[in-house]
Amino acid sequence: MDPVSHGALAYLLYVGYAFISGQRLPLGWTLVPLAIGSQLPDLIDKPLAYWGVLVYGRSLAHSVFTMTVICASVWWLTRPPRADRADRADRADRDNRTDQAAHAHTRVRRIVTAIRHPLPGALTIGYLAHLIGDSWALIARGDWLSARFLLYPVYRIPASPSDDIAPWIRLLELYREPAASMQLELVAGAAIVFFALRIRAYRRGRWPHQQAG
């Protein structure tokens, strides 16, 4: 699956997750970890395979074991900090020493908080969407052998001649004919949902702002 289709699938899965779990719809900073997660396996495996570190461009980061380690680590690292009232009061006092410094610090803190809150869920769903996108067609037709990269390194994977081509060159070649490379139904579906949700929110008089912290 190409990068745009990976992103579209990740967006649709996150929208479903948001409706089921009661989370806010993906908007603004939520889209950053979602987009990163949807491309992360290729960002790791493709260059490493080209440089000869890995034997195949779908191996290490395309493994469910690696996904579990990375996503669990992100969940653990983004746990809400335990701060008592005194600590919060001290921080508030430092933040308000000067108006300019307080404004800058508050802005940075809001951005960090906005990213930290959706980061683990969005990154995990994006990552999972990538693995689903690369394997669902193989599994659907019963080609379990080709989908064994999901269990790397339990199953060894042979080298691929296509990994001798630089990943950025392959990407340029891929999008010479975007209509042929992208899964247009998936991309169109994601675009329709994206705009439909925003039109719905606009008619209700509010945009679907994400929750902070």
What are the φ/ψ torsions at residue 116 (nearest 5 degrees)? -65, -40
Most confident of 21-30, 80-89, 136-145: 136-145
Which pLDDT value is given to residue 21?
80
Tens digits of residue pLDDT in 169-207: 877 777 776 665 678 889 999 999 988 888 877 777 655
Contact status, residue 40 vs residue 130, Cβ threshold 8 Å: yes
Helical segments of 51-142, H only: 64-77, 85-95, 99-116, 119-140
**Contact criterion met (CB below 8 Å) for 24 and 209:** yes
Contact 63, 41 (CB under 8 A): no
Collapsing DSSP to helix, strand or coil, 171 comes out as helix
Structure confidence by residue, pLDDT tens digits, 26-52: 666 778 899 999 999 999 999 999 898
- pLDDT over 90 percentage in the chain: 36
Segment 69-87 shows an average pLDDT of: 75
| Confidence band of 90 (pLDDT split at 50, 70, 90) | low
pLDDT score recorded for residue 131: 97
Domain boundaries, the chain: 3-203
